[in-house]
Structure 1
């Protein structure tokens, strides 16, 4: 019997300090330090000496984070990230489950690649790695991939992320199959005929810098179309990396009419704007692009209101030769796993838009619910799985990409001081990260 005690923690940042007893991967007791606690509801502590004790020193205890949108690059680009290095970054960032996107080489469009990614995730064992299956063969948008076979291999989310499923007939067929299979299709919303050659958000900054514009309508139009399709066939739709204020308006409209649509926003779209493009530094190049301060403000409010459901990192590592080049040739993408919590605290908690229960909702509970993970995003309560994250809300730190666990270092937050830090991560009662390290 394996036991772990988290001492002196505050579940959801509320109430008095508590000690949380975990036995064989399940929360077995929560003992309040409050002497007035009702003894009939206060669980008993373990009479035996626990195998491991983590002193929380007043840290906030949250459900372990779940990332619906992670690029682990394996197989094919192990020079930029591997399942091991990405899992390490995820654990250090407070994550207990991640969804590995399908744009690998070979593409995750069949059960063989699905099983490889899942097996490597289990072997590393730091987070639960869930393969995302491609919607179309080779991400080419021409022919549906083997959705049924991949679903039987355990895939719960399908996406051609990096490419939009732009053909409405193929998207409708994908939604019809997803309904029958009880899975979700996650769309990279980008009408390619409106973004050919685009380099930056279409607006004043792009015009001044001489960069071809990327209109927000390219995202909004696809989201509107797919919401209509999802409602017609009765399927679930998930919208990846929402970046535009107008997209939030479309989502609000669709949800008010009963459409089964969910959406994610990235940390960088909650904090950064296209003003950063003035230096032409490709670290700020991302798909979809950074947009305006008005878009950022709308996305923050939409996340607080539940119009946008959750935060997903779109963690996208790149090799130096793919990023440290001229703007037009640079690959789009940013690291996100080890900075996500801090950016959410800076943009949502410090602004008063979310409390710590809200942080649990957007980083853990809603993404787990969207993906259908029964053991993640669960309440902190006796009898629940012990997938947990400890956070020091008073900590501050300076971002250094070279210090990250990822093989790549392409973070747009380099040198920025951010609030809050993960103290420890617990996966099924086992400490997978503590004090910025992976236990031996």
Structure 2
């Protein structure tokens, strides 16, 4: 069995310690551990975190391998410090049967760069009309626990109630893409001053907030678990905060780009900034950061949405929505939350590893950095500053909004069950 000694790392940003990995397990944590026959990683000044977990990743396979595959997506995840990702269901064919989710799960196992947990569709074909095979997907080898029609909203209240009732039987969770379709017909960006000046169809905040308000009430009525995908408005934060104050089993996520970018960037009509939900206002960004800091928003999820160049390098109205995010997420969170004093590194571990693993009920991930725990770990150099260059991405797509932006932090090593998938910033 291989051994690795991580020497002098700041565990969760705290005191420096040595961490000995023996095989797939953390053997010891403490000062002055002898290296013996272990490979030594000198980590003075670096931060050691539990392996990151993403609740919201689009890997595109099967069906859109021109934009991403499970292999390229998991390589991107390893570069970003992730040891587990949840693969969304909007593939071709849709992941609405046991057969498709098992295919994605097996492809993840074959990749070897991070664990892939498929997310099952709520409705057949993401059409919002008939429940998909939720039980069969849960009982499959993939053991699906999270269900979402992400990319489309389950806007029928009866279908949403039935889904919540169904997953309650096995402790699953419905992850809702909150977008009232009739309020967003023809919408191109956030509804506000900028959309009015640019003459682009507006996407009102109420289109998100009204669905969240309905769904937290449904979840409370049923006594089931609801997760709100990519919260983007100040009003949404307040609704989730209210639901939690009632003791309801509601969780929520925010993306890195909604923590940093605003709709002012759309003024240049660059489709790289076209995303669903849209970039909002500076006031919304402040509210999202505050909600993440105080725990109203449970976790950061990338909504990694790769697209080939031809789907983005076109006029705004015809461009696809979405941004890649796995390889830059930790740097953006450091910039927006840590360097601003809103979170410490232990708080980052809570929101990017512990909580998403709990929400997804993902075994072996989101565990403490302690003896006897699985060696799923991320080592970060927080003092590094560099310019984002998508030419160096492991993802098959390059649609990043951070091109040319100076961001802090660099993941140097990622360990999946003790095996290094990233060494000194290079994929193993």
- Are 1:114 and 2:113 an aligned pair? no
Mapping of 1:348-359 within 5 angstroms? 348-359=337-348
Q: Would you say the 8 A contact 1:96–1:126 is kept in 2?
A: yes
* Deviation at residue 53 of structure 1 after TM alignment: 2.4
Question: Match for residue 359 of structure 2?
Answer: 370
Mapping of 1:338-417 within 5 angstroms? 338-417=327-406
Mapping of 1:187-206 within 5 angstroms? 187-206=176-195
* Deviation at residue 26 of structure 1 after TM alignment: 1.1
Question: Match for residue 242 of structure 2?
Answer: 253
Question: Match for residue 165 of structure 2?
Answer: 176
Question: Match for residue 290 of structure 1?
Answer: 279
Question: Match for residue 37 of structure 1?
Answer: none
Segment of structure 1 superposing worse, 52-61 or 216-225 = 52-61
- Are 1:93 and 2:92 an aligned pair? no
Deviation by residue 1:373-405 (Cα, 9 ceiling, x = unmatched): 131111111111111100101001111112101
Mapping of 1:64-75 within 5 angstroms? 64-75=51-62
Q: Would you say the 8 A contact 1:96–1:128 is kept in 2?
A: yes
Deviation by residue 1:317-357 (Cα, 9 ceiling, x = unmatched): 00111111110000000010000000000000011100000
Question: Match for residue 10 of structure 1?
Answer: 10
TM-score, normalised to structure 1's length?
0.96
Question: Match for residue 103 of structure 1?
Answer: 90
Deviation by residue 1:199-239 (Cα, 9 ceiling, x = unmatched): 01000000000001100000000000000000011100000
CA distance in 2, matches of 1:410, 1:436: 21
Question: Match for residue 322 of structure 2?
Answer: 333
- Are 1:281 and 2:261 an aligned pair? no
Match of 1:132 among 104, 108, 119: 119
Q: CA RMSD in A?
A: 0.9
Question: Match for residue 22 of structure 1?
Answer: 21
**Match of 1:181, SS?**
coil
CA distance in 1, matches of 2:248, 2:317: 38
Match of 1:429 among 418, 422, 427: 418
Q: Which runs of 4+ in 1 moved over 3 A?
A: none
* Deviation at residue 45 of structure 1 after TM alignment: 4.7
CA distance in 1, matches of 2:234, 2:78: 32
CA distance in 2, matches of 1:54, 1:115: 36
CA distance in 2, matches of 1:111, 1:54: 41
CA distance in 2, matches of 1:265, 1:158: 18
TM-score, normalised to structure 2's length?
0.98
Q: Would you say the 8 A contact 1:202–1:213 is kept in 2?
A: yes
The count of corresponding residues between Structure 1 and Structure 2 is 426
Structure 1 stretches lacking a partner, 5+ long: 34-43
CA distance in 1, matches of 2:148, 2:363: 21
Question: Match for residue 63 of structure 2?
Answer: 76
Structure 2 stretches lacking a partner, 5+ long: none
CA distance in 2, matches of 1:197, 1:159: 23
Question: Match for residue 150 of structure 2?
Answer: 161
CA distance in 1, matches of 2:340, 2:426: 30
Segment of structure 1 superposing worse, 145-154 or 374-383 = 374-383
**Match of 2:67, SS?**
coil
Q: Would you say the 8 A contact 2:10–2:44 is kept in 1?
A: no
CA distance in 2, matches of 1:57, 1:245: 39
CA distance in 2, matches of 1:57, 1:334: 33
Q: Would you say the 8 A contact 1:31–1:45 is kept in 2?
A: no
* Deviation at residue 30 of structure 1 after TM alignment: 1.4
Question: Match for residue 40 of structure 1?
Answer: none
Match of 1:49 among 30, 37, 45: 37
Q: Would you say the 8 A contact 1:273–1:291 is kept in 2?
A: yes
CA distance in 2, matches of 1:133, 1:377: 21
* Deviation at residue 57 of structure 1 after TM alignment: 3.0
Mapping of 1:295-334 within 5 angstroms? 295-334=284-323
